[in-house]
Structure 1
Amino acid sequence: MKRILSLALTTILATSLLAGCGAKKSDDHLARIKEAGKITIATEGVWAPFTYHDPDTDELVGFDVEVAAAIAEKLGVTPEFKEVAFDGGLTGVSTGTFDMMANGVDVTDERSETFDFTEAYAYDHAVVVTLASNTDIASFDDLKGHTTANSAGSTYEAMGIEYGAAVSNVDTLGETMTLVLNGTVDATINANTSAQDYFNTTGTTELKVAAVDPEVTKYAVPLAKGSDNDSLREAINQAIADLRAEGKLAEISNKYFGADITAE
């Protein structure tokens, strides 16, 4: 009797373990997000007009904020934004601290070694911004031997180093522009959309776009690399496709840029 009971318990335990393993295998990142009912999104909150705080209400707003919220709605979950420095956001995505990042993250070969990117949802160009009176810098190649300011871990920081500039790391777009204005650095490399927004918002005539990178910058959502994110990436890609087809991406873009940057 004891032996029969022991064998029965062993069979039940083995069956439970197999069932448990099967459940765990199907419990990928998207399933866990849906079970939690929310998706955590890393963003800086200091890079207008992509992600920043409304000066009147202090509410977190911006192109990337609204796009990410629209994606979350398509997934059927609540967006939970976490404000962190740019490099901290990327690190957090790679380690699983955040589910995704929405911060004008451009797709590069180097980043693609660490992240699996979704389809692009917006397109831009990198530019060099200098004082309007600067006559030394008229191209990216002219940055060699000069100084720039950019966010740590950004593509723009990498470009500055690539072109031979001495790069200072700062936290916000406003700080980069201030350092150029007061002569602390010679230039900043940034998104053309952000530079133009800064010019329009501040009304400054002391700065100019000195050079434009002809290569298109593709903004996409970075996810931690691995099969655990396959279904999440597919779901976000579908959400982006639906938002584009519905005209929602263009609507959000026109709201913040006065133009549609969501079509290549």
Structure 2
Amino acid sequence: MKKQLMFVVSLAFVFILAACGSTDGDDQAKETTTWDKVQEEGEIVVGTSGTLVATSYYPKDSDKLSGYDVEVMRAIGEKLGVDVKFQEMGFDALFAAMNSGRIDAAINDIEVTDKRKEKYAFTTPYKYSYTTLVVREDGLSGIETLDDLEGKKAGGAATSVFSDIARHYDAEVITYDNATNDVYLRDVDNGRTDVIINDYYLSKLGINAFPQFDLVLHPDIKVHPTKQAILLEQEDSELQKKMNEALKELQEDGTLTELSKKFFLGEDASKQPEGEITEIEGIES
């Protein structure tokens, strides 16, 4: 009887030790976060395209990556006390890189949508905008309303919301592998594609940067209000909190406004645009 009792007590003790060990292991695992890694290494690895004029690009005669998003990220790095290391890749590749842990964050005019929030976390927005169309000046590429997109060819990234809009109106999406703005614009100009559906600020900057193309922003189409933010892994709540605190400071001290005006022809994209912007029913946002 004593042997049985000793066995039961010993077995219970083993379970208690196992439970304690499991709890300690779980706590240790939970304590190791992306923010911990960033602090330890003194560096945050950020994915971006390097090909998007005004947002993430190489200015003429410069070998240093710059743009609104790039400089916002550098300003955040300064607030956090860490270096920012950029890895350049196509827009569609940013999400795969985040999934694999290759990067700690991504910034590339990434729109915040409910669908993306199911898989990822976002900081508070650092940019507000809406969607417009880049079309040929002569006849507006035959597009008077969004319904006229049917059968047209729209240049864009495969996984962007802008391409979702194109498909929603039965346009054919022509995708590119991290192409620069001039490639997209040239194809509309020469008729290979008919339209680029994209962010207002980026579209305006693109047309302004390449005046050799006979292109305009559509005068009557102003739709789909957007918010852009930094993409993070869903469990990175601590890094998200730190970045949000930095962004709040950058908004309050005027840094975001200053950077926006520098890259967006004097316009402040860090605040919500004025005027009526039409929502598009049926587009997941």
| TM-score scaled by length of structure 1 | 0.88
Q: Provide the residue aligned with 1:183 in structure 2.
A: 191
2:137–2:214 Cα contact (<8 Å) kept: yes
Q: After superposition, where does 1:92-241 map in structure 2 within 5 Å?
A: 92-135=97-140, 136-170=142-176, 171-204=179-212, 206-210=214-218, 211-226=220-235, 229-241=236-248
2:132–2:223 Cα contact (<8 Å) kept: no
SS at match of 2:111: coil
Deviation at 1:21, TM superposition (A): 4.9
1:95–1:224 Cα contact (<8 Å) kept: no
Is the counterpart of residue 259 in structure 1 residue 267 in structure 2? yes
Deviation at 1:130, TM superposition (A): 0.9
Deviation at 1:95, TM superposition (A): 2.6
CA distance in 2, matches of 1:100, 1:159: 26
Q: Provide the residue aligned with 1:7 in structure 2.
A: none
Structure 1: any 5+ residue segments left out of the alignment? 1-9
| TM-score scaled by length of structure 2 | 0.82
SS at match of 1:253: helix
SS at match of 1:195: helix
Deviation at 1:24, TM superposition (A): 3.1
Letter in 1 for 2:189: L
- Number of residue equivalences: 251
CA distance in 2, matches of 1:28, 1:205: 48
Map Cα deviations across residues 140-168 of structure 1 (whole Å, 9 max, x no partner): 22111111111232221221111110010
How much is the aligned-residue C-alpha RMSD, in angstroms? 2.0
2:133–2:217 Cα contact (<8 Å) kept: yes
Structure 2: any 5+ residue segments left out of the alignment? 1-13, 273-285
Letter in 2 for 1:225: Q
Deviation at 1:206, TM superposition (A): 1.1
SS at match of 2:224: coil
CA distance in 2, matches of 1:81, 1:183: 35
Letter in 2 for 1:198: G
Q: Provide the residue aligned with 2:72 in structure 1.
A: 67
SS at match of 1:216: strand
Is the counterpart of residue 250 in structure 1 residue 257 in structure 2? yes
Deviation at 1:216, TM superposition (A): 1.5
1:94–1:115 Cα contact (<8 Å) kept: no
Larger Rg: 2
Letter in 2 for 1:153: T
